[in-house]
Structure 1
Amino acid sequence: MLLLFSISYILTSFISFFVGIYILYKNRESLLNKYWSLVSLSGGLWSLSLLMVAISNREKTALIWQYILDGTAIFIPIFFFNFVLILINEYQSRRFERYVIWGGGIMIFFLSFTSLFKKGVAPLMGFNYWIQPGPLYFLFPLFFSSVVLFLILFLIKGYKKSIGLKRNQIKFILLSAIIGFSGGPTNFFPQLFNIYPFGNFLVVFYIVGVAYAITRYRLMDIKVVLRKYSVYLATLSSILLPAFALKYYVNLYFPRYSLIFDFLILVAAVSAFPVFKNYYYRAANKYFFSSLYDEREVMADLSEKLKSTLEAEKIFRYISDTLVNSFHAKTVSVLIFNEKIRAYEVKYDFGHQGGEESFTEERGFFTKVIQQSRAIVVEEIKEQAECRKYKHTFSMLEKYDIDVLIPLNVKDEIIGLLALGPKESGDMYNHDDLRVLGVIGAQAAIAVENALLFQETKEFNVKLEKEIALATRDLRDANAKLTKLDQAKSEFISIASHQLRTPLTVIKGYVSMILEGSFGLVDETKQGVLRKVYESNERLLKLVENLLNISRIESGRMQYYFEKKQLEDIIADIAADLAGAAQNKGLFLNFLKPAGLLPAVFLDEEKIRQVITNLIDNAVKYTKEGGITITLEARGGEIAFCSADTGVGIRPDDLPNLFRKFSRGTDMSLVNPGGTGLGLYVARNIIEAHSGRIWAESEGAGQGSRFCFTIPLKHAVPQQAPAAPRTGLK
């Protein structure tokens, strides 16, 4: 009997120490965990001390352990009483009771070191040593029993007042306390009633049971426990019983082949285990646990439904139906976060009779607590230190009887919440439930986000159609006004350009005559000034011509006169005209004329001259050293012109804008301040009128550039081109 006694106390001591350390490690900040850790550690020390007293070979050693035993045993019910008060949320309101119990415990603690409490230790009932009580020893079991009775009454009171998860927690702990404290006090029996302490074996169940409740801070559903253990027990029984029977038969009749049969039996047992387990699992669900759900079936069914629609209302209903049918929740609400008002709006509700339509976030509660991508038990987080300040939020959750919150997170952003009420059965949401709910939340979040985006798109399209209808009317009016303004602008530019071109032409003529000496000799200083006047006048004439061309282009009055021409002759003529300007800057200007005669091109010679002159002239202006090379070739049904220079080059980000009106490359004004950004725009329109294309190429700043255009050999004449020879102003 002593051996069995020793084994039970070694086991109790080991488990108690382990649980005490583990509980404290799980949450060092929780007062609940701290007190249960003290209960476990003092229980472990009490169990170890009792064992050492019972098996000690020396009276002095046994007496030392007895002092330790009495000191720790006194505080076990005190620690547990404080633990119970915290659990039922009456720790602060029961200060008087706590002070009384602590005072009584401390008094008995000091009394335990006197002969009034114990006379010593002596052999008793097969134990090497056991306590010999003194005249006041009865105070200890009286105090112990009173505190235990007191805390059990508090647990019963808390059980009646609580609901949902808290109710199940208290029930679990109450049962554990009754089992444990009905076994522990039997240690008073030998010294008081000469009865063996038969209840020691129950203490370990009390320690482990309550520890499990704290670690999870929610209770394991009894049905889930029964299902799991019954399935594994049936599976192991179905495999091990035939295996042992077969092994016995083999050892009896075929001992020589025992090793081979052992290996075959092992392989068969391992292979048969999953088959039997699945069979008993299905049988347990079908015949004994019909209310339990198959999580794979639930997830697959919900996934199919969510994929079938983008309508938000349908998706909300599918999610709610799944939660109600699978978990038997009394209420389900879908709340979507509205960024504008910083509140959660109720978009779908099942089970509630009316209520608020939105809930304002309380100082970041949902952001801090819910942004964990897992199902949250309200009772679990309520006691956490960082959550105690959210009294209004918890009051609201209690008002609507919310047990579980499931965040709908997409890329670490909360888009909403699923709020579940208690189960119809009154059972709590166990660990497996919360795990499945977390997966459902992740799956639902994506579907809800897609539905909200789809709904937002539909609403935006409706709004857009209305806005477009209103804007179209305004645009028509504005367009009519702009057309009139554009016509007035074009007419003004045309008239102004005509009025400017005549005096500019006269100025050009007179300055040219003065430079040529028609009015007498001019000294070099005056010649330099006159040349600048001449060059500025040329720029103005070119600007006026470009403005006239732009006016004609935008008003549709640009006239083209197409004839078949040899493009190489035109280029050679222009290159000869600009060769002097290139030589003055120390640049070469080479035209690599094709060896053979190229096909004639249908073009407007004056307009093409303007384009080519502009491209080569720009190359001269923007090249400081090196020169310009001009090429012309026929390829693929078109004729291609290119002007390549060794100049300042073009930045990659400037290339797309070069042929736009008034657009110039970055820092080009530093090289040629007189540029306007109109020449390339006019050139593009002229080339496009010839059904060709024009572009620029450059490796970057300082790398030179190439300006090219192509004209198709077979070119259709635009309808506005007159058949008669050109006359008048173009």
Structure 2
Amino acid sequence: MSIVGLAFLLCGVLTSLILSAVLLVSQRRSRMNLWLSIVSGMSGLWTLGITLFLVHPDPDMSPWYVRGYYLAAIMIPFALYYFLHYFPYAIAFSRVEQSLVIFLLVLVSGAILTPGILLDIVPSGSGAKVHLYDFGYALYIAIFLFLALGSLFLALSSYKKVRRRGEVALARQARGILVIAVMALTGGMIFNLFLPALGNYELIWAGPPFAAIFATYIFYVIIQQGMFDVRAALARTVAYILLLVVAVSLYAAVLFASSEILFPDTKISRTQLIFYMAMAVVLMISARPLRRALDRFTHSVFYRSDYDSQKTLQEITKITASEIELRQLVRRSVNVLCQSIQPEYGSLFIFSSSGKTYHYGKNMSGKRMHHRYRRQLSIVEDRLGELPQLIRSNDLVSLEERKMLDGADAAVVVQLTLRGEHLGVLFLGERKSGERYNDDDMRLLRLATDELALAVQNALRFEEIQKFNQRLRDEVSRATRDLRRSNKQLHQLDEVKNDFLSIASHQLRTPLTSIKGYISMVLDGDAGEVTTAQRKLLQEAFISSQRMVALIEDFLNLSRLQTGRFSIDCQPTSIEAIVKEEVDILRNNATNRSLTLQVVIGKNIPEAMLIDKSKIRQVVMNLVDNAIYYSTPGKRIQVRLSREGGDVRFVVHDKGIGVPKSEQARLFTRFYRAGNAREKRPDGTGVGLYLAKRVIDEHGGSVIFRSTEGEGSTFGFILPIRLPDSDLKKSKKEKSS
């Protein structure tokens, strides 16, 4: 055997046996710890047997080594199967299941220990060799696989269960146990089950390390779960090992000294020496378990219904502190109380603030279950107020009340109340032992239900908050869906509106341009002499057509803005000429409304600057036209164009109706019109000022606006002067000269 293999085996022995000792001396009443200790201990003994057989294949001792490690190997899946019935949650054993597993273990143990059925040791050149019998070994493999697959099934079921309950950390550990168990069992079966069946015994040293890794990982999981104090457990383990060593040494010393005195001529063989040492260990180990077995027997005879009330309260406290979900809280609490007091059944009703009643039962199965439930529900709905908070049926004076509880099979009734609020009621049946509920039992129930009442109230509040949050999320989701649907419809309508504006504007602009042209030709005399009265009418028609063309242009620009086709085409243009032309066009309209239109042109206005001629003309026309329409007759409107440094400033000041202060912030938004403007001029569109601001912004300028309701307004803009290249060179020459 190689040094590497021997090192692996020795590490496996030490690891497994130390873990087994730690688990054995810590929380010895925990069945989970007990079975895990057996798994680890059997792994150590299995590894030890393989090590002794490989290192010292003596024909006399090899049968003990081989039968020992085969027996320890079958105990590993057996103990693992029992361990997984307690981790992470206890799973009930059926009698059939227990009987079958124990029968299989006894059967395979008998096959191992009986020569000629499973194996025999035959001498070989190197010392000893294992001979396996086909039928016996096939039986061994079948039982091993049955226990191993059963263990893996339990591990998988436990993982799915904790995952469904949302316990992320525990689910991760259960998954790890499942994976490590598959790895360990697979490695052990390959190297120590199947290869020996094929006659290959050279690699049996490779299986035990897998079992050591598995035991180590489960030990780590238990530590993570906080199931015992590691430092205290290690201290007890060291003390236990020292006690064992001292006791065995003393026993051996006394035994050998006595033998030398009593039998001085008798020579002790090596086999006898090993036997004496083994007996010392067995006697030492069996002393305390025997004492515990006797303690359990006397306790079951004289204190069969006794329990630790302090421990029960601690468990209830732990549950109420860790559980917020109502179902788990009451289920676990009722289970703890029933396990301690041992009633025939436990039945708990919980009352929610919404008027619902929840029911949780323990051991409620049987023929009388439905009858018992109906009677208890009747008491809850109609008669609960007549009973004290905590009462035994035997203590009731009223015969009617006693019959009422007897009809519901209730020996004890405990109401869960907190600051006057009724949260629930607990019904308990007679104790399984036949004894009456004593004062200690009632004290425990009062303290436990007081603590449970507070936890139930918190759980109910938490449940209400969760339902409210869910309802709120549903309402928000529904409202969001409605808003998205409405928003989509609005977008569709907006697109239809934009298409309509674009199409209608283009279709209207062509005939209006023709009408405007023909009116201009008539005014110029192309159709003959025009009288004064006719000229006045034609001029009104021309101005109206001009305004209609401007309005259509506004709608076209608005459509271009919505579709992303709005652009500024800057060309060298005289802004002074634009202002004068637009004022001349609108002067007749102002005169007809008894308004004075005054134009003031400042000095140093550039002859040409880079602007979009048509769009600036539209802005000037809109601002002057608005001043005319919203001014009071007899007032004066002043239009001023001036230069301020590197900017051109254009303002229109009127003495009109003004803009209310509360509506000024929204005045330049699309389709918005102030309330007094809608009354003054119902036919307005609300796009002129919006487009004016967009045009000025695209030119890099800013809008001027000041207004006082009832006193008038000032509208205008400031544009940065950008000169054409030729004018720019000319301006630089003039400055240098």
- Please report the TM-score for the alignment, with normalisation by the length of structure 2: 0.36
- Please report the TM-score for the alignment, with normalisation by the length of structure 1: 0.36
